[in-house]
Structure 1
Amino acid sequence: MKNKLGILYRTVMILVVLAIIYFGIHRIVSYFFDPFGANDKTYSRQELIENFNAKQKEIYAAKHYFESIVLKGKKVDIEFDGDRITRLEVYPTIDNAHQDRYAIDDSRRIDSIITALGWTKASVNKLRQKLEEANCISIFNDEPATIGFKRSGMGIYSFQVFDKPMADSTKIKYSRDSCLFIVANNRLVLEYGGGAIGPQCFPRKDLQNNNSHDHTRNTQTILGAR
């Protein structure tokens, strides 16, 4: 009887160890491959343009609301993942901290930053809802405003939205970093920001299109003017 129990015990333990090994390896593989965007959708220039066109009104509404709640003289970069804030940075800093960056496990810190910005839970929820309506995930107030569209691995696709038509000198500046930026028209630049790991540029085919003068003219006719 003892021998049978011993065999059963060893069998169960072997199965447990095998299960731990399997799921542990699965988690490790997922962790290392996800940053490369293996399991995330990538977006083309045309898809970004189509999404901007479809949600242009909502994107500008989110931009204008955000500008109305940010303290004068502050630049704020905030990102959501569903109901959760995953990034919150303020420049210049609020309380002489090296950088006001939200730590995932520090809810008190993010609450203190929100309070210092003069925001309420209601205003944060309203901002999140406006970004959701725009099919976007983040926003940074500046000229241009940078509105994050979607993440892919550690990278992020964004819209840089100008209030006024950009000068030719600004277009030239963007063209120097054509790997990261695609000038869609004189008020919109598409951006891909790569992470520490994974792709660092737009796909080659989109960059080739970006260098085409015909593409620039065609893109300007696709996008609505404001």
Structure 2
Amino acid sequence: MKRFLSLLAIINFYSFCVYAQHFNQAIDKDSLLLTIYKKLGTVERVNEFKSYYNSADQKGQEFLLFMGSMPSSSKKELVANIDSNYRAMLDLITGYGKIVPKGYIVTIEFQPANNVISAPASVDMQIRHRNPDNFNSLETDQDWGMEFGSVKLKKMCDRLNWTEGTLKNIKTLLDRAHCVSIENDTVAEIGFSRSSMAKYSYLIFKNDLDAATIGRYNDGCSHIYYKKNIVLEFMGGAVGPQCFPKVD
């Protein structure tokens, strides 16, 4: 909860993010507050949130409501998911590898609709393509928050000869693995869940890691070696913890 101290210090900067999507004035703020209190859990954390909320202006309160309603996850959930759905993740990696054209590295994440800021479901995508005239050069094209049926999303898909059906197939593979994103680099990166502005993910290597590689991917901060060919990853956002939370 102490992260809200820093949140309040930058509310004026981030409030435009909310209003660019238009905070949904039809939202029952009292009901949303109750939902946030349940998520926070302890009386101490609830009282701390109430203190910040009651001292903020309208824009600040709406930003805190937006932040408090964002998805949350944990290392415990990250581990439980891969223990339960590892086979589905391997199928995801294989299936996605067949969908992405040769020579391309594509990162795709499906963002759910957000009723709090009236944001529709969307897709984030980054396309990297190796320049045949310069093997060490990767040409990059990317866009975020692309709505389904939009010109932007169609333009990105056209580069890969993808259709709306292709996106549905990828989404199905991700749903079966209970994940939200994938990147087909040398080491497959699979996003499990957003958590506020941070993200929990897996790095899945083709082979079991040797001692030297384990050392590189076991810093106890953003990467933790789990077992065999699996590394757990935590990527912090603009605010909040930058390493795996200690109480997680």
TM over 0.5: yes
Q: Which residue of 2 aligns with 1:102?
A: 143
Q: How many equivalent pairs are there?
A: 181
Q: Which residue of 1 aligns with 2:156?
A: 113
TM superposition shift of 1:93 = 7.9
Q: Give the number of the structure whose residues are more often strand, by fraction.
A: 2
Q: Which residue of 2 aligns with 1:89?
A: 126
Residue pair 1:161, 1:187 contacting (<8 A) in 2 also: yes
TM superposition shift of 1:41 = 5.4
TM superposition shift of 1:99 = 4.1
Q: Which residue of 2 aligns with 1:217?
A: none
Change beyond 3 A, Cα 1:34–1:115? same
Q: Percent identity?
A: 29
Aligned counterpart for 1:142 among listed residues 185, 188, 193: 185
Residue pair 1:34, 1:153 contacting (<8 A) in 2 also: no
Amino acid at match of 2:242: Q
Change beyond 3 A, Cα 1:26–1:58? farther
TM superposition shift of 1:32 = 4.5
Partners of 1:65 and 1:166 lie apart in 2 by: 23
Q: Does 1:187 align with 2:229?
A: yes
SS in 1 for 2:241: coil
TM-score (norm 2): 0.64
Deviations 1:187-214 (A, max 9, x none): 11111111112221111256xxxxxxxx
Partners of 2:130 and 2:220 lie apart in 1 by: 31
TM superposition shift of 1:26 = 5.0
Change beyond 3 A, Cα 1:143–1:103? closer
SS in 1 for 2:90: helix
Deviations 1:36-67 (A, max 9, x none): xx444543433221111111121111111111
TM-score (norm 1): 0.69
Q: Which residue of 1 aligns with 2:11?
A: none
Deviations 1:124-170 (A, max 9, x none): 10110110111110001123211101101111100111121123221
Structure 2: 5+ residue stretches without partners: 1-24, 30-55, 114-120, 132-138
Q: What is the root-mean-square deviation of aligned Cα atoms in Å?
A: 3.0
**Based on CA coordinates, which of the two structures has the bigger radius of gyration?**
1
Aligned counterpart for 2:244 among listed residues 183, 190, 202: 202
Partners of 1:58 and 1:40 lie apart in 2 by: 26
Q: Does 1:164 align with 2:194?
A: no
Q: Which residue of 1 aligns with 2:60?
A: 28
Partners of 1:25 and 1:86 lie apart in 2 by: 32
Change beyond 3 A, Cα 1:85–1:60? farther
